[in-house]
Amino acid sequence: MWKALGCAVQGKGHVAKGICCQDKIAGLEKNGVHAIALADGAGSAPLSHFGAEKAASYICERLCSDFDFMYSDGSGGARAREKLMAGLLSVIRGLAVEKNCVMKDLASTLLAVAVKGDAVLAVHLGDGVIGCLKSDGLRTISRPENGDYSNVTTFTTSKTAAASVKLIKGQVKDKKAFILMSDGSCASLYDKRTGNISSGLGSFMEQSDRCNSLALEAQLIESFRHDVRDRTNDDCSIAILYMDGESFPGYTGLGFQEKLGLLNTGSYGRSYKDADKILSFIAESGATLKSITSWYHKKPARIKRALSRLERMNLVYADEGVYRPVLKVTRKDGGMLRLEDYGE
């Protein structure tokens, strides 16, 4: 099953100036197609956050509706690109009328990936990076387009947009994830000299088979808020489409010895019993310390110690007073997540 996760975090420069996050991400599952998109609003365009949001949602809809046509286009992708950009300009033109502005006020870059069966489509306009995770590591599918200067790129409203947009098609094969990154995120996660994506991102994605999707997204957001955006003043965003494998059966599917090894208790005793009970109880939607105590009928101090140990082992995380599992508790772990923006 393909799943999506991601975040768009307001950059330090925009926080200082009181400017909203201009990066927007979107995800959609429709007609057997799984799609993600990322649009980076132009810093010089005052309403680019509206344009970026419209562009990201539009491309997801088009990829899900026109995937077969775009993938099998016999003109080498020319007709598909022409139809795609004509439709995009039409919706941006309508948005300009709605916002009472000129189209360039809504300018953004645009990246997207869609998967249907074993077929893959990628769309790239402007800067930012599209990559994938294969069995032998991370690979860059499409590099940034900056022309002659690093701070100049092509936007959705540029005159050269239709001629500049890239439509890349391929097959899934051994690809386990697809990654979209804005220019701000590239400052931390992409080496422009070598064209390589940070190996740390690959290590993060390797957890996807074992980790709960909500926990993965929480870890991603935390990393972007406190690490990734420290290297730039720009907004930082990422969207990931990943294949959720079935090699890990979930905590409840493990045998007794496997649970002992995972919980690192060595034998059946208080530590094992507390951890096992707590993980099973918080499986569905998390629980507060009070609700765990009421259900388990143990002293709060004992339960706090057990929770602290589970947190140190990265098996549980606290979210505003609610303890949630990091591990997948069952084999199935939801579907497409809703991709959202996160400011301060």
Distances (CA, A) of 113 to 71, 131, 212, 280, 331: 12, 10, 23, 36, 26
> How many CB atoms are closer than 10 A to CB 72?
10
Give pLDDT, residue 336. 47
Q: Closest by alpha carbon to 175, among 105, 243, 79, 83?
A: 243
The rounded distance, in Å, linking the Cα atoms of 6 and 213 is 11
pLDDT given at position 329:
81
Rounded CA-CA distance 273/323 in Å is 17
Structure tokens at 76: 């080498």
Q: Whose CA is closest to 29, among 331, 208, 244? A: 244
> What's the full length of the chain, in residues?
344
Instruction: Name the pairing type of β-strands 322-325 and 340-342.
Output: unpaired
- Residues of the chain falling short of pLDDT 50: 147-149, 336, 344
pLDDT at residue number 146: 66
pLDDT of residue 149: 46
Q: How far is CA 275 from CA 195, 217, 321, in A?
A: 44, 23, 18
pLDDT value for 340: 53
In the β-sheet with 287-288, what is the strand arrangement from edge to edge? 287-288, 322-325, 316-319
- Give strand pairing partners of 9: 236, 342
* Residue 212: predicted pLDDT: 85
In whole angstroms, how far apart are CA 335 and each of 5, 56, 315?
10, 20, 21
